[in-house]
Amino acid sequence: MMEERSKNFIENEIDRDLKEGVYDTVKTRFPPEPNGYLHIGHAKSILLNYGIAKEYGGSFNLRFDDTNPTKERIEFVESIKEDVAWLGADWEDRLFFASDYFGQMYETARKLIQKGKAYVSDLSAEEIKEYRGTWNEPGKNDPNRDRSVEENLRLFEEMKEGKYQDGEKTLRAKIDMASPNMNMRDPVIYRVAHLSHHNTGDAWCIYPMYDYAHPMEDAIEGITHSLCTLEFEDHRPLYNWVVEEAEFAHPPRQIEFAKLFLRNVVTGKRYIKKLVEDGTVDGWDDPRLVSIAGLRRRGYTPDAIRKFVELAGISKSNATAEMDMLEYCVREDLKQKDKRVMAVLDPVKLIIDNYPEGKSEMLSAVNNPENEALGSREIEFGRELWIEREDFMEEPPKKYYRLYPGNEVRLMHAYFVTCVGFEKDGEGKITAVHCTYDPETKQGSGFEGRKVKGTIHWVKADTAVKVTARLYNNIVDEEKGVYNEEGEVNVNPDSLIVMDQCMIEPSVKDAEPYESFQFVRNGFFCVDAKDSRPGQPVFNRVVSLKSSYKLPSA
């Protein structure tokens, strides 16, 4: 498939750079800030950067952009590594931390001072903002803008040595206070912050700002193409200024692409964080979230996510993708890969009156007619079965082809049965359905005497294993939209449905975490990695079987 698609605009740019000899290799990176878990949007960036490096025989770095100690934690470093690896983006031995470059960034800042390209400012954050001007009016020069090189070097060193309080001094790049691009109006490149860092501890009390740190990190690693999202387009002149003034021999080039957005889905880190912290969801890996960890726990596969990112495409303008498309991708993938087994989510007893008591027989069932490699299995049949409560109706509407008094259906992989009666409790709830079977109609016997319209699934009552299955709806109340006026998520109160009386074939009970199955007629289900116990799996529904989604025509 990969060969057939036309190249995206980033590949076109890279082709040109290689042809013109701007670069003779391609080096990319994924630069997450370890301040939360990754989500489906990050998957796009990961797979894009990794894919480009592979395609051009270049290299791919995983680099933690850990320059802001307030929100960063080791827990997030570990989760991000796990997620990137799971997606198949192999960084080999190319794992880096921006904080390892603090020394070099400091030395380069001194060099900027020596070149007259940076100065220490005494202005407060407020004042810097005031001096910056607006879109229509130029900014005012910082009163400290013309400090001597010697004084700047001394003050910058004192900043580093802890002589100043947080916010008391900053280092600013000396560019142009009248620039039409606000980012170029002498941006702050270092701040004083007496904070412990997860990697460097208390070694530093000054930290570089993103717009200075990021181009430095790219340049130090020899990145050629720094792929980032559109909101950084206005920062590109500053990116270029930094790598040029720092005098790197082979400066990297920034290219922006559109973020991946999903309609009616929560992706913002701080919103997810809030749902986690107030207990609305069961951690960052709650299966209702589109965090990579949540999708993995739900039962998504890297292949499905790759397909989705490919379908969403790489472009220069923001567009919103539909959750339906993501679901389509995982359904298509699991349709081929998963065994199809029988599980009854909401059971009611089916008793076959003319099947001998105590008798049982083994029937053969193909595991996946679309994938022969998955083989077949034996399932046990007997007099008492569990069937889905909704597969029987006392008074059926038109076009109901399942069980009702007098109607005949096929029991999947087994026999035809005809409903001959039912039992109810005092409240009118059906407690058992009675039927008779026709021994002539055994599946695989070549019986062609008559046809039935309905086929229902079942499990043998005395050997079935009772488990819990969880069905999910969007965590967002779609009618209200993602966020309310206070900027909080509109939570759907029915996003989690717990079915704790499910009956499954015994063949499924020893499944491992992350193993998934198609429960025929009910959807794809994955063994939850957190809540399952040996022999007692808990299932998450990955996705239902049906969808109205159609692939966009090419």
Chain positions contacting ligand ATP, by CB under 6 A: 31-33, 35, 41-42, 44-45, 228-229, 259-260, 269
Phi, psi of 419 (to 5 degrees): -70, 125
CB 402 within 8 A of CB 389: no
CB of 62 to ligand ATP, least distance (A): 11
Q: Tell me the three state secondary structure of residue 466.
A: strand
Q: How far apart are CA 534 and CA 106, in angstroms?
A: 54
Look at residues 535, 478, 495 and name the one whose alpha carbon lies nearest to residue 512: 535
Q: What is the DSSP string of 270-283?
A: HHHHHHHHTTSSSS
Q: Which is nearer to ligand ATP, 32 or 299 (CB)?
A: 32
User: CA-to-CA distance for 84 and 42, rounded, in angstroms?
Assistant: 9
CB nearer to ligand ATP: pick between 89 and 464: 89
Residue 326, exposed/middle/buried by CB under 10 A (0-12, 13-18, 19+)? buried
Task: Tell me the closest approach of the beta carbon of residue 273 to ligand ATP, in angstroms.
Answer: 10
- The residue (of 32 and 294) whose beta carbon lies closer to ligand ATP is 32
User: What DSSP string describes 32-67?
Assistant: --SSS--BHHHHHHHHHHHHHHHHTT-EEEEEE---
**Four-point Cα dihedral 520, 326, 492, 516, nearest 10:** 40
Q: What are phi and psi of 430, to 5 degrees?
A: -70, 130
| Nearer to ligand ATP (CB atom), residue 261 or residue 447 | 261
What's the min distance (Å) between Cβ of 33 and ligand ATP?
A: 4
H or E stretch at 303: helix 302-312
How does strand 339-341 pair with strand 225-229?
A: unpaired
Judged by CB, which is closer to ligand ATP: 45, or 121? Answer: 45
Residue with Cβ nearer ligand ATP (321 or 342): 321
Classify residue 398 as exposed, middle or buried by CB count within 10 Å of its CB (0-12, 13-18, 19+): exposed
Cβ proximity to ligand ATP, 29 vs 297, nearer residue:
29
Q: Are 144 and 123 in contact (CB under 8 A)?
A: yes
- The nearest distance, CB 74 to ligand ATP, in angstroms, is 15
Beta-strand relationship, 170-173 and 118-121: antiparallel
Nearer to ligand ATP, 44 or 521 (CB): 44
CB of 188 to ligand ATP, least distance (A): 18
- Residue 228 buriedness (CB in 10 A; 0-12 / 13-18 / 19+): buried
473 in Cβ contact with 323 (< 8 Å):
no
Give the Cα separation of 516 and 507 in Å (integer): 13
Question: Cα(72)–Cα(136) distance, rounded to whole angstroms?
Answer: 37
Q: How far is the CB of 42 from ligand ATP (least distance, A)?
A: 5
Nearer to ligand ATP, 11 or 33 (CB): 33
Nearer to ligand ATP, 144 or 229 (CB): 229
515's tokens = 């193993």
Q: Compute the least distance from the CB of residue 191 to ligand ATP, in Å.
A: 18
Residue type at 399 in one-letter notation: K
Nearer to ligand ATP, 44 or 147 (CB): 44
Exposed/middle/buried for residue 478 (C-beta within 10 Å: 0-12, 13-18, 19+): middle
In the bound state with ligand ATP, the residue whose beta carbon lies nearer, of 105 and 227, is 227
Which of residues 45 and 522 has its CB atom nearest to ligand ATP in the complex?
45
Torsion, Cα 223 228 232 235, to 10 degrees, reads 10
Min dist CB 258 to ligand ATP, Å, is 8
Closest contact distance (angstroms) between CB of 168 and ligand ATP is 27
Show Cβ contacts of residue 372 under 8 Å, excluding neighbours closer than 6 positions.
none
CB of 512 to ligand ATP, least distance (A): 31
Question: Please, what is the minimum distance in Å from the beta carbon of residue 244 to ligand ATP?
Answer: 22
Q: Which residues pair with 377 in a beta bridge?
A: 365
> Is the Cβ of residue 101 or residue 458 nearer to ligand ATP in the bound state?
101
**Nearest distance from C-beta of residue 55 to ligand ATP, angstroms:** 18
Q: Which residue is nearest to ligand ATP (CB)?
A: 41
Minimum separation from the CB atom of position 195 to ligand ATP (A):
17
At its nearest, how many Å lie between ligand ATP and the CB of residue 259?
Answer: 4
Write down the residue that tokens 């025509």 correspond to. Answer: 553
Produce one character per residue of 336-375: b if its CB has 16 or more CB atoms within 10 Å, e if not.
Answer: ebbbbbbbbbbbbbbbbeebeeeeeeebebebbeeeeebe
Give the pair of three-digit tokens for residue 70: 């307030």
Distance (Å, rounded) from C-alpha 414 to C-alpha 505? Answer: 14
CB contact at 8 A, 229 and 258: yes
